[in-house]
Structure 1
C-alpha cells in the first residue's frame, strides 16, 4: 500500500495538467510560488531517490548481461519530452536529433531506440511516442522495460532534472556506455537568474551526471570549455577523466503540424511587419533572455513617435509575472508591440522571412538556436556581445554592448542607419547546419570518439568506476 501511494504521488508530481493548474493558481503570488517550487523539488528528490529502480534493474537485467550481439542499441533518452512537449528550446533540439536518428536507423552496428524513465525510475522503450513521431501505422505498441546489452550506448540529449541515476549506475555495471548532453551551465554560473528550486535541481542533476556518465557532449565549443573550466574549479565533482565533445544545432525548423491558414493575430502581426521596421525576439520569457531591457529600449523609440515594431514569440517563463503583466497591458500592445505565446512553426517561419532583424538579447546562452534559424531564412541579426553568439554568428551579426537599455537603443538606431545604407552585417553567408548535418556531427562524437578535450583531475582516482557509482 505504501509503495502504491508513493507511485501515485510520483505520477501526480509530474502530471502536466496538475503542474499547469498549480502554475496558474500560484502565478499571482511569485514569492509563494518560489517556496512551493522548492518544496515540490525536495519532495520529488525524496520520492525519486529510493533504490527500488536499482534493485529491479539488477534482478531483471541479470540474464542479458553478457549477450554478445552484433546489432547493438543506441538508446536516446527523451524522459522530459515524454512528460511535456513545448516545441521550443531543448525540446526542439531533442525533436530534431531524434527524428533524424530514428529515420536513419540502423546506424552502422547500432539500432536507434527512444527510451524514457517512468515515474518509478525504471527505463522503458518509448515505442508509443516513436510510433506517433514517425507517423507509423498504429498497432498495440507496448512501452516495455528496456533490455540493455553490453556495448549499447545510452545518450541523453534531454534535460530531466529528476533523473533516476541509480538505474543508470546499475546498467553501467553491466556494460552500458553512458553519455549525457549538456546544453549550458547557466544554472551553476548565473544562479541568480533562476528560481531557487531550479538552482537546487540543476546542481543535483550535474552531480548525478558526473557520477555516472562516461563522457559528455555539449551544444557548443563555448559550453564545452565552460564545463571543463567549472570542473577544474570544482575538482570534487569528478575524480576521473571525462572526455568532452561538442556539436552545433540544426537551423531548419521541423514543423510537426501542417501549415494552416493564419489566425487573426497572425494576420495583424504580418501586416505590421510589412508596414514598419520590425524587431523579432524568439524564446521563452525569462530574466536571462533580456526582454525587459529590450522593451525599455523600444519604449525610447515609441516615446518620440517612431514607427518601430517589437514582436516577441515565446511562452511566459519563471520570475516574469511583472513583465508579462506589463506586456499584456502595454499601451503599444497590438500597435507596435506584439506578443504571441503559442505561435505555430509556420508563423515563426513567416516572421523570420518578413521581419527586419532578429534581436538576440540574452545575457547568457548555451547556443542560441534563433540565430541560426534567422540565418537560414536570411534575417539580419542584432546580438548581445557575449562569447557564444560570436561562436555561432561570427562576423555575420551586429553586436551591441552588454550594458543597459539606453545603449541598446543607440545600437538599434545605429543598425537601422547601417541597414538603410545597405551596410548592416548580413546573415545570409553565415555557416549553419541542417538537422541532418547536426546529427551527423553528433554521431562522429558518439560513435567515433571525436572529442574536443578531456578533463583530467589533478589526482586520478584509480578506483573502478562502476564500483564508485554503485
Structure 2
C-alpha cells in the first residue's frame, strides 16, 4: 500500500519552484509520535529549537515525519507542543537544492520509504543523516533481536541512499567508515563529525518537580550521592555499579555515598530492575527515578557530588557532557569515545571489581566541584551553526531566545 501511494504521487517529487530558497526537511518521525525524553530526543528538541530561530535566513525549515501509509509528509511546526501526530498529513513537494536531514533516530522508519528517499535524491535533494551510534550492529548482544534487524536494514539503506553521514563522535565515524568498508556501497559517502551541545536549558526542557525528586533533594542536603543517568539496559553497566555500591555500603558505610539513578526501564534487564525496586536500601541509599523532568534532572546534577558513567560503550555520552556543564566531576569507563573529551574534570576507571570501583566512588564523592576553567559550555547554537555549514546552507545566526519550559508529561 505504501508503494502504491508513492507511485500515485510520483509527480509531486522534483518540481523546481523558481525563486524559492532551499528547504531543510528535518526528520522528526519518532518525537512527533511521542517524546519519551531520551538523550537522542533531547538532541532533536535542542537542534530543532535552534534551527527555528534561523528559519527564513537563507533556507526554509520544514519538519517531516514518516507516516504509517503515506511516506514522509510534512509535520506541523509546533509538533513539540502537540500530544500526537497530525491525523491528515500533508504531501511534500521537493525541489532541486532541498536538503533532507535525518535528525531523529529513524532505524524503524527510513527503510520503509527507501523509494521515496531515492526519488528525492533523483530530483536533486541531498540526503544527510545523523548517526548516533552503530551499537546494535557492533554489540548485538546488548539489544533485542528486532532492534538489531532494524539497524541492519537502516544502515543498508544509508549505504545506498545517503549523501552524507553526520557522526556525533570520532568513534562513531570510525565505526561507520569501517562498516561501509565491508559493504558494496555504490558510491562515496561523506562522513563528517557533528559536535553536540550539552546545555539542557537550550533544549526546550520540561518543567515540574515530582514528590520523589523533591524528597530526594531534601535528603541530598545532608547526604552525599553519585548520579547515573540513562535507560536501564545492558550496556549501561548498572549491575557493575550496583555491585560496587553494595560493597562500600557494607564495608565503609560512613564514607559511602548514595546511588541515584535517573533512567526509564529498558530491555534485557528485567532481573536487575526487580533487584533495584526491591533492594534492601531502596529509598534509603539507592534511589531509582524512572521518570524525571529536565528541571528535576538539572537539580539532581547540581545536588549530587559527582556522576558515574559506567557504560560499556557509547556513541557520545551526553550525561558526561551535561555533568561537566553543571560543574560536576565525572568518573567514566576508560573508552576511546570518552577520551575524546579533554576536560580535566573526568577521571577514568578500568576495573569492574566491586572493591576497586568502590574505592574510586568514595574518592569521587569527596571530590570538589569543578572550577570555572574545567566547566565545559557546549552550546547548541554552535552545534547548529556547524550543522548548517556541513550541509552547505548559508544562514545568519541569531541570538538565542530565552529557553521555553515545557510541563513534563
Indicate which of 189, 210, 214 corresponds to 1:242. Answer: 189
Residue aligning to 1:224? 173
Kindly indicate which of the two structures has a greater share of residues assigned to helix: 1
Residue aligning to 1:447? 392
CA distance in 2, matches of 1:426, 1:402: 28
The Cα of 1:426 is off from its aligned counterpart by: 6.2
Residue aligning to 1:391? 340
Residue aligning to 2:406? none
Higher Cα Rg: structure 1 or 2?
1
Residue aligning to 2:399? none
| Pair 1:174–1:297, CA change in 2 (3 A) | same
Indicate which of 151, 176, 182 corresponds to 2:97. Answer: 151
With structure 2 as the length reference, what TM-score do the two structures score?
0.88
CA distance in 1, matches of 2:373, 2:140: 35
| Pair 1:328–1:258, CA change in 2 (3 A) | closer
CA distance in 2, matches of 1:428, 1:347: 26
Please give the per-residue CA displacement for 1:302-325, whole angstroms capped at 9, x wherever unaligned.
112344200000100111111110
CA distance in 2, matches of 1:192, 1:407: 26
Residue aligning to 2:272? 323
Residue aligning to 1:348? 297
Residue aligning to 1:26? none
CA distance in 2, matches of 1:278, 1:225: 36
Q: How does 1:10-409 map to 2 (within 5 A)?
A: 51-61=3-13, 64-108=14-58, 110-127=59-76, 130-133=77-80, 143-160=89-106, 161-163=108-110, 164-232=113-181, 234-236=182-184, 238-254=185-201, 256=204, 259-260=207-208, 262-304=209-251, 305-306=253-254, 307-401=256-350, 403-409=352-358
Query: More displaced, 399-408 or 205-214?
Result: 399-408
| Pair 1:299–1:350, CA change in 2 (3 A) | same
Partner SS, residue 378 of structure 2: coil
Query: More displaced, 177-186 or 437-446?
Result: 437-446
Please give the per-residue CA displacement for 1:221-251, whole angstroms capped at 9, x wherever unaligned.
221122112222x132x23111111111111
Checking the alignment, whether the CA contact within 8 Å between 1:371 and 1:393 is kept in structure 2 is no
Would you say 1:413 and 2:362 are equivalent positions? yes
Checking the alignment, whether the CA contact within 8 Å between 2:328 and 2:345 is kept in structure 1 is no
Partner SS, residue 78 of structure 2: helix
Aligned residue pairs total 385
The Cα of 1:131 is off from its aligned counterpart by: 2.3
CA distance in 2, matches of 1:107, 1:53: 34
CA distance in 2, matches of 1:402, 1:218: 29
Partner SS, residue 62 of structure 2: strand
CA distance in 2, matches of 1:388, 1:113: 33
The Cα of 1:284 is off from its aligned counterpart by: 0.8
CA distance in 2, matches of 1:210, 1:359: 36
Please give the per-residue CA displacement for 1:2-42, whole angstroms capped at 9, x wherever unaligned.
x5xxxxxxxxxxxxxxxxxxxxxxxxxxxxxxxxxxxxxxx
CA distance in 1, matches of 2:165, 2:351: 30
| Pair 1:355–1:156, CA change in 2 (3 A) | same
Partner SS, residue 147 of structure 1: coil
With structure 1 as the length reference, what TM-score do the two structures score?
0.77
| Pair 1:187–1:121, CA change in 2 (3 A) | farther
Structure 1 residue ranges without an equivalent (≥5): 4-49, 450-470
Checking the alignment, whether the CA contact within 8 Å between 1:121 and 1:167 is kept in structure 2 is no
